[in-house]
Chains A and B, each alone.
Chain A
Amino acid sequence: MIKKVLVANRGEIALRVIRSCREMGIKTVAVYSDADRNSLHVLSADEAYHIGPSPSLESYLNIDKIIHVAKASGADAVHPGYGFLSENTKFSDRCKQEGIIFVGPSAYSISNMGDKITARKTMIAAGVPVVPGTVDMVTSEEEALRIIEEIGVPVMIKASAGGGGKGMRLVKNSNEVTSALRAARSEAKAAFNDDSVYIEKYIESPHHIEFQILADRHGNAIHLFERECSVQRRHQKIIEETPSPILTHEKRMEMGEHAVAAAKAVNYEGAGTIEFIVDNNLNYYFLEMNTRLQVEHPITEMVVGVDLVKEMINIANGLPLTYKQHELQQNGHAIECRIYAEDPENNFMPAPGKVTHIETPSGLGVRVDGYIYEGFEIPLYYDPLIAKLVVWGGTRKESIDRTLRALHEFKVTGVKNNVRFLERIALAEDFVKGNYNTHFIEDNYDFLMQAGSNTQTDQDLVMIASLMEYLDKVKPVQPEAKATRKNNWKDYNRVRNVMKF
C-alpha cells in the first residue's frame, strides 16, 4: 500500500492532491523551483525538495530530478496532477522501471489516446461515435466528392500537412464542393507541396461535453457523468458545470456507456476524461481522451460525492473500484469558475504580481481550490490560474445565484483578475437559460465586456478614500522629523525625493 506520495506538480492541484493524501494518512513530498519556495504546496506538504530554477523545463518537467527526489525521499508513488508530466509516456515508463507507482494510466493507454489518428481508429473499433469523415487521406477528387455526399454538408476540408488555417475550407452548400476542394488542394500544394486532404463533418454551434471515468486493473470501469465545458475563450475553459443543461437522461446514459467503452478499449487504469463534441440535436462524437485528472474535476466530486484523488490512489494500489455504476447518481448542481491572474480589459493579458489583499468566499455550498495568500508573489513562469471557485446548489438556479454571491465575496487586489468578467458570464441571459455553446463568449462579448458604472456618489467616495490614504501616508513624516530631527531629516528628504519622481 502506498505510504508516501511525491506530488510532481505545483499550485492549486498540488495542494488538492496533498489534502486527499493527508485524509488517507499518506505522507506527502512536495517539489519546488526557485520561484516556488513560498508556494502553499510547499508549506502544506510533509517534506519538500528543491528541484531547480524557475523555468518549468529545468524543474517541474525534469524527469531525472523528480525521480531522484522520489528515491531520496523514499516515496513509493508519484501523483503528476495535470499539465507538466501528467501525460508524458517517458515519465510514466521511467517510474515503472524505477519501481515507483505512477498514479495514472500506463504508457500504453497514454500514447494510444495521445495520437489523434490512432485514437480515432481505436474508438471506431470500439463502436464509439467519432466525427464523420475520412480515416485516411483523400488524394482524388472523385473520392472526395463521394465522401462528402455520404456525410453531407457542412464539411471541413483540411490539408493533411496543414496548419495555420492554410489549405482549410468550410463547405456549407453542396454546389460549392468542387471549387472548395480545388482551392484547398492548390493552396495545400503551394504551401506544403502536398495536396492530400481529409474531410470531416463540420459541427455547427458545438458543445463541449466530457465524461469522467474511473477504471481499475481488474477490468471494472464506471463513469461519473458529464461536465459541460462550453464556456471557453480561445479553447481555454472558463466556467464548467454539471449536469449539462442540454442533455436528456437517455442521452446522458448512452454517452456514459460509450465513455466506459472508450476507456475499456485501451485497458485504461485510473481517472480519465472522454471529451465529446455535441451538436444542437444532441448528436455526439468522440473528440479525445485526457489521461489525467482534469482542472474541472471538483464539480463532479461535488455532485457525485466521490473524492477522485482518493479513488486514483486506491486504483494505483491495485484495489477494485469503491463504487459500482448503479450506486452513483447526480445530486444537485455544481459550477466551477476559474479565477485567472489576467486583465480582461487589456486583451486578457496575464498579470503576475504580488497579492496585496485576498478575501475568499465561504459559506454553504462553496469550495475554493486555490493557492495564493496575502503577500504571495504570483510567479510569472507558470499558468495564470490562481484559484477555482466551485459552488454546489440544489438546483441549477441556486448554484448560479450562489456563484454570483461567492464571486461578490471573492476579493483579490494587487493582481488583475477576471472575477468581474466571471460575474458578467453568470449574469448573461444565454448562460442563465442554459442556452449556450462554444461560441458563447464571442456571441456575448459586448455584454461581457460592459464596464461597471459608478454613480456620482461612488466617484466621490473613491476620491475621499484616495485623499485620506494620501494624508495618512504623508502626515506621519513631519511629527517624526520633529522628534529626532537629525536622523529623520534625511528620511524626510528621501520621501520628498521619491514624491518628486
Chain B
Amino acid sequence: MSYEVKLKDRTAKVELLSRNGSQLAVSVDGKEYHLDFVKVKEGSYSIIHNNVVNNIVLLPIDGVKKYLVNNFKITCETEVIDAETRYLLSRRKGSGDDGEGTILAPIPGKVVKVLAEKGQPVTAGQTVVIISAMKMESEFKAAKDGVVADVKVTEGQTVDARQPMVIIEYNSEK
C-alpha cells in the first residue's frame, strides 16, 4: 500500500515493499531503500542505511498524521496523506477556509492582555493578544487586515500550546 508523505514543499510517494523483523524495504518516489529499522522507544527510531547510523525522533502533533521530526540536523514537520486526508483535501478545495485567520498560542503561557474584541476591525501587524511565558512577554499580531470574528481567551487565563486565541476573518484579496 502506498501513501504520500509531505515534508515542507515536497510530497513524495512512499511505499512499504516488505518487512521482515527489523529489515525494511521501502521505496520513496521510486527509489528503493533497504534498511535496518528499529523503534528504540516511543517516538525514537534508529535507522541503519548502508551501515550509516541515523537517529530520528518523532513527535506527533494534532493526532496521528502530522509529526515534528528531528534527525539532529534539522527539525521539520511531516504529514502523512492517507485516503481520508485526500478526501478531506478534495472537499475543502475551493472553500477558501484554511484556518489561517486563527491565532494559536504557539507556546503554553498566560494571557497578559487581549487587545481586540469581537467585531472590531484590525489592520495587518496590529497586536491582538499578549502572552507571557518564562518571564518574557510575546505579542501576537494580525497577519492581514480583517475583522475579529471571535475572541476565545480572557486576560489572566492560562493557555496551552496550539490553543486558538483569536479568530480573524481576513479581508479577501482583491
Contact = CB atoms under 8 A, between A and B. Distances in A.
Main secondary structure of the interface of B (DSSP, over half): strand
Nearest to B45: A465
Contacts of A457: 49
A459 B73 contact: no
Interface stretch (A116-124, A271-279, A349-357): A349-357
A473 B74 contact: no
A103 B135 CA distance: 26
Most buried by B among A342, A458, A466: A466
Given A350-B133, A464-B33, A466-B5, A474 B69 contact: no
Nearest to A384: B134
Contacts of A351: 107
Contacts of B65: 470, 499
Given A350-B134, A383-B134, A413-B70, A468 B107 contact: no
A471 B80 CA distance: 10
Interface residues of A, number: 45
Given A351-B107, A461-B47, A454 B57 contact: no
B5 A382 contact: no
A356 to B, nearest CB: 6
A357 B44 CA distance: 8
B133 A352 contact: yes
A406 to B, nearest CB: 14
Contacts of B28: 460, 463-464
A435 B114 CA distance: 46
Interface stretch (B8-16, B115-123, B147-155, B165-173): B8-16
B70 A466 contact: no
Interface in B53-106: 54-60, 63-65, 67, 69-74, 76, 78-80, 82, 84, 88, 106
Contacts of B76: 454, 462
A453 B70 CA distance: 12
B3 A467 contact: yes
A24 interface: no
Given A357-B43, A459-B7, A461-B54, A466 B106 contact: no
Interface string A437-469: 000000000000001111001111111111111
A453 B71 contact: no
A337 interface: no
A468 B37 contact: yes
A356 B42 CA distance: 9
A470 B64 contact: yes
Interface residues of B, number: 58
Contacts of A500: 84, 88
A349 B76 CA distance: 18
B133 A380 contact: yes
A280 to B, nearest CB: 33
A458 B47 CA distance: 11
A458 B71 contact: yes
A200 B135 CA distance: 31
A374 to B, nearest CB: 9
B7 A462 contact: yes
A471 B2 CA distance: 11
A457 B133 CA distance: 38
A211 to B, nearest CB: 28
B14 A473 contact: no
A421 to B, nearest CB: 12
A467 B110 contact: no
Contacts of B37: 464, 468
B73 A452 contact: yes
B57 A357 contact: yes
Given A341-B134, A349-B136, A454-B74, A465 B58 contact: yes
Contacts of A382: 134-135
Given A357-B57, A464-B26, A470-B64, A458 B73 contact: yes
Nearest to A469: B58
A472 interface: yes
Listed from nearest, the 8 A-B pairs whose CB atoms lie closest are A350-B134, A463-B5, A452-B73, A466-B78, A452-B74, A460-B28, A470-B80, A384-B134
8 contacts: A350-B107, A352-B109, A380-B109, A384-B134, A467-B16, A467-B80, A469-B58, A469-B60
